[in-house]
């Protein structure tokens, strides 16, 4: 176990290094001029040059990356926000609770919806339940997240507010420690927007994996012992069938922790995704690079945790 974790940590460092090289080259080698963006159109060439010197943008590319890598890997320093002079690490940490709350709640909802629907479809193939699950998956996979979010805002916020019923806020985020009830009210619509789209994927994954698992020899052996069907399905079949679901969950949760860009933008949640979008529009390169590296870290970390859970769910999986 310790060797496996050590290998994954080393792999994480290598991945972060490669991503940092690629992202740094992409954003610092493009023809844009952040100093001009910060100074404004009316600024003189001398003012632009002074800003570029202050930000270190007048140094050679390799020298700039050397300073960046030294701060990143030795001090976990992502640099300074060009717009307000604040450390990027602090700004991302401030916005992480909103993104984490959105991701955790949505993940619980889509698992609670998608897995039971997939199980019912797999245990009753070609039945009405299976057809319902197929229709649910097709509708969910065909519905863009931003369309569902705008529809939820129109029906459950705008229409209800117009009728004098203030049930769900239309935008914003309230920290859990400040007011738990308002935290919940502000996140209900974003949670269901993400969950309804993702639940369709998980229902199809669960259905396909469980149908394949139920044809295995050890399932037939369990049935021949006289075990009840629910015990065969949930005690023996589900443990192996959850492997692809866990794989997808690791990818989705890791990616969303790096910023749920569409949902945060639609519902004006000041999380990492919205912060990254605003930084792209203002050409704030340290923030963009920091958000990309943070997303990479979460994806690798989530998939490492998933690999550890494989051995817990399926005894045939060994980490050695």
The 10s digit of each residue's pLDDT in 255-292 is 888 768 888 888 989 889 888 888 887 777 788 888 88
- Per-residue pLDDT tens digits for 189-230: 999 888 888 888 898 888 888 888 888 888 888 888 888 888
**Distance from C-alpha of 276 to C-alpha of 287, rounded to nearest angstrom:** 7
Which residues lie below 8 Å from residue 229, measured CB to CB, with a gap of 6+? 123, 223
d(CA 308, CA 250): 11
Q: How far apart, in Å, are the Cα atoms of 254 and each of 190, 207, 293? A: 18, 23, 12
pLDDT at 24 over 80: no
The CATH architecture to which 94-313 belongs is Orthogonal Bundle (1.10)
Give the residue among 122, 145, 301, 312 at the shortest CA–CA distance from 202: 122
Q: How far apart are CA 185 and CA 159, in angstroms?
A: 17
Total-model pTM: 0.81
* 101 has a pLDDT exceeding 90: yes
pLDDT tens, position by position, 109-168: 999 988 888 888 888 888 888 888 888 788 877 888 888 888 888 888 888 888 877 788
Segments making up each domain of the chain, as ranges: 2-75, 94-313
Measured N-to-C along each axis, helices 180-213 and 88-123 cross at an angle, to the nearest 10 degrees, of: 40
Task: Identify any residues that bridge with 80 across adjacent strands, giving them in sequence order.
Answer: 87
CB of 273 closer than 8 Å to CB of 261: yes
For the chain, what is the largest distance between any 2 Cα atoms, rounded to a whole number of angstroms?
Answer: 85
Q: Is 80 helix (H, G, I), strand (E, B) or coil?
A: strand
CA dihedral 108, 141, 258, 251 (to 10 degrees): 70
As given in the structure block, the two tokens for residue 258 are 């790096």
């Amino acid at each position: 176990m310790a060797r496996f974790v050590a290998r994954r940590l080393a792999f994480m460092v290598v991945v972060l290094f490669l991503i940092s090289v690629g992202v740094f080259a992409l954003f610092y080698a493009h023809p844009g001029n952040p100093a001009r963006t910060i100074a404004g159109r009316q600024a003189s060439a001398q003012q632009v040059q002074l800003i570029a010197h202050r930000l270190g943008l007048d140094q050679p590319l390799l020298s700039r990356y050397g300073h960046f890598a030294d701060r990143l890997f030795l001090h976990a320093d992502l640099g300074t926000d060009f717009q307000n002079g604040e450390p990027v690490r602090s700004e991302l940490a401030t916005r992480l609770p909103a993104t984490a709350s959105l991701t955790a709640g949505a993940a619980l909802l889509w698992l609670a919806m998608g897995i039971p629907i997939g199980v019912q479809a797999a245990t009753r193939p070609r039945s009405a339940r299976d057809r319902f699950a197929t229709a649910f998956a097709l509708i969910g996979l065909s519905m863009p997240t931003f369309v569902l979010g705008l529809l939820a805002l129109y029906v459950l916020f705008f229409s209800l507010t117009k009728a004098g019923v203030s049930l769900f806020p239309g935008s914003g985020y309230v920290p859990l420690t400040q007011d738990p009830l308002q935290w919940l009210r502000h996140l209900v619509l974003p949670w269901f927007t993400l969950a309804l789209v993702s639940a369709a994927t998980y229902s199809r994954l669960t259905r396909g994996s469980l149908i394949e698992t139920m044809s295995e020899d050890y399932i037939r052996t369990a049935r021949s012992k006289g075990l009840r069907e629910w015990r065969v399905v949930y005690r023996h079949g589900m443990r192996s069938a959850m492997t692809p679901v866990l794989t997808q969950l690791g990818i989705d949760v890791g990616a969303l922790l790096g910023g749920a860009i569409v949902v945060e933008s639609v519902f004006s949640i000041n999380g990492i995704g919205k912060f990254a979008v605003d930084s792209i529009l203002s050409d704030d390169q340290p923030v963009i690079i920091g958000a990309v590296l943070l997303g990479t870290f979460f994806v690798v970390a989530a998939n490492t945790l998933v690999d550890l859970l494989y051995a817990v769910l399926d005894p045939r999986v060994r980490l050695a």
